[in-house]
């Protein structure tokens, strides 16, 4: 692919990755050698390298024209790999929950003041809740998000709540009561608050530091909801979350008594 025959924004990305790929092939490379190898002007290569240096992606050897990769990209890749491993570990336990419930089972991770769906298993029913992997939602909005929100301080929760448009003290007090129930019982319950016609149950997944790194949920249409159904799905979710947490190094799932 010719780098110079692309729109400017695309060309810049291609040139950046070409430089990164070249740098990954040996410990350090000079600007002149890079320019020659990639068939770019020396000034262009230098400009890109200086930008990457500012971002901490490459380092310059003193005042020389030689550059090498830092561990920045490795750190980013390792962070992404953590979630890939999480999906692989969670999939079998999610399948067990899907077998018990026949409903959509989802896995979400916290990202800033939001959560993102990273894995899902569709419902076996013709009428099932649809979840899109990669979609992002506020922590305030749904049971999956409330699991993460329950781990935060009141002041942090209020900041997030206000940034979603919340301004009524009574509504915030109601939210805090709801989150206290999540902390006490070990699961979040969403009755058509996030989406009309949908009921969701969600439980936390913990790592070896007892930090909630993911949230596991069952989503069902209101027409199939009953208290008995809720209790069965809650038990299946907690059992699955405890098993996933154990594989992530959590010594004792905080809601082990609810699982037993």
Poorest-pLDDT segment among 8-12, 139-143, 229-233, 250-254: 8-12
> Which of the listed ranges 69-83, 96-110, 165-179, 192-206 does the model predict with the highest average pLDDT?
96-110
Distance CA 61, CA 45 (A): 16
| Sequence-separated contacts (24+) of 234-238 with Cβ below 8 Å | 234/187, 234/201, 234/203, 235/259, 236/96, 236/97, 236/100, 236/101, 237/97, 237/187, 237/201, 237/202, 237/203, 238/186, 238/187, 238/203
Average pLDDT value for residue range 229-239:
92
For each of the domains in the chain, give its residue range(s) and CATH number, in order of start. 11-76 (1.10.10.10), 81-248 (3.30.450.40)
User: Quick check: helix, strand or coil at residue 165?
Assistant: coil
What tens digit of pLDDT does each residue of 11-50 get?
889 999 999 999 988 888 999 999 999 999 999 999 999 9
Residue that has been written with the tokens 């110079």 in this structure: 4
State the pLDDT confidence band at 105, using cuts at 50, 70 and 90: very high
State the pLDDT confidence band at 84, using cuts at 50, 70 and 90: low
Distance CA 204, CA 207 (A): 10
pLDDT at res. 198: 85
Give the residue from 134, 220, 139, 237 showing the smallest Cα distance to 185: 237
State the pLDDT confidence band at 81, using cuts at 50, 70 and 90: low
pLDDT of 8 strictly over 60: yes
State the pLDDT confidence band at 83, using cuts at 50, 70 and 90: low
pLDDT at res. 171: 86
What rounded mean pLDDT belongs to the chain?
A: 86
Distance CA 113, CA 111 (A): 6
What tens digit of pLDDT does each residue of 107-160 get?
999 988 888 888 999 888 766 667 778 888 889 888 999 999 999 999 999 999
- Asked if 97 contacts 220 with a C-beta cutoff of 8 angstroms, the reply is no
State the pLDDT confidence band at 170, using cuts at 50, 70 and 90: confident
- The continuous run of DSSP H or E covering 117 comes out as strand 114-121
Measured between alpha carbons, how far apart are the two ends of the chain, in Å? 59
- Asked if 69 contacts 58 with a C-beta cutoff of 8 angstroms, the reply is yes
pLDDT at res. 218: 93
pLDDT at res. 258: 60
Between residues 225 and 148, the one the model is more confident about: 148
Listed in sequence order, the residues at least 6 apart from 129 whose beta carbon sits closer than 8 Å to its beta carbon are: 103, 104, 123, 195, 198, 200, 219, 220, 221
pLDDT at res. 66: 92
Poorest-pLDDT segment among 71-75, 92-96, 128-132, 252-256: 128-132
State the pLDDT confidence band at 74, using cuts at 50, 70 and 90: confident
State the pLDDT confidence band at 1, using cuts at 50, 70 and 90: very low
Distance CA 185, CA 179 (A): 10
């Amino acid at each position: 692919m010719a780098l110079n025959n692309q729109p400017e924004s695309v060309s810049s990305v291609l040139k950046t990755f070409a430089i990164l790929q070249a740098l990954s092939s040996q410990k350090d490379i000079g600007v002149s050698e890079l320019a020659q190898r990639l068939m770019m002007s020396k000034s262009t290569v230098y400009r890109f390298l200086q930008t990457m240096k500012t971002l901490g992606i490459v380092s310059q050897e003193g005042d020389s024209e030689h550059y090498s990769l830092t561990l920045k990209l490795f750190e980013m890749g390792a962070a992404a790999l953590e979630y890939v491993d999480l999906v692989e570990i969670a999939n079998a336990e999610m399948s067990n929950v899907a077998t018990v419930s026949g409903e959509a089972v989802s896995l979400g991770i916290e990202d800033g003041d939001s959560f993102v769906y990273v894995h899902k298993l569709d419902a076996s029913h013709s009428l099932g809740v649809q979840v899109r992997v990669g979609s992002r939602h506020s922590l305030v909005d749904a049971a999956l998000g409330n699991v993460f929100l329950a781990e935060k301080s009141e002041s942090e929760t209020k900041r997030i709540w206000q940034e979603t448009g919340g301004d009524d003290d009574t509504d915030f007090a109601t939210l805090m009561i709801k989150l206290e129930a999540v902390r006490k019982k070990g699961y979040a319950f969403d009755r058509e608050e996030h989406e009309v016609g949908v009921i969701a149950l969600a439980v936390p997944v913990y790592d070896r530091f007892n930090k909630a790194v993911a949230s596991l949920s069952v989503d069902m249409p209101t027409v199939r909801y009953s208290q008995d159904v809720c209790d069965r799905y809650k038990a299946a979710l907690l059992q699955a979350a405890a098993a996933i947490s154990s594989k992530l190094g959590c010594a004792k799932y905080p809601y082990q008594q609810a699982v037993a």
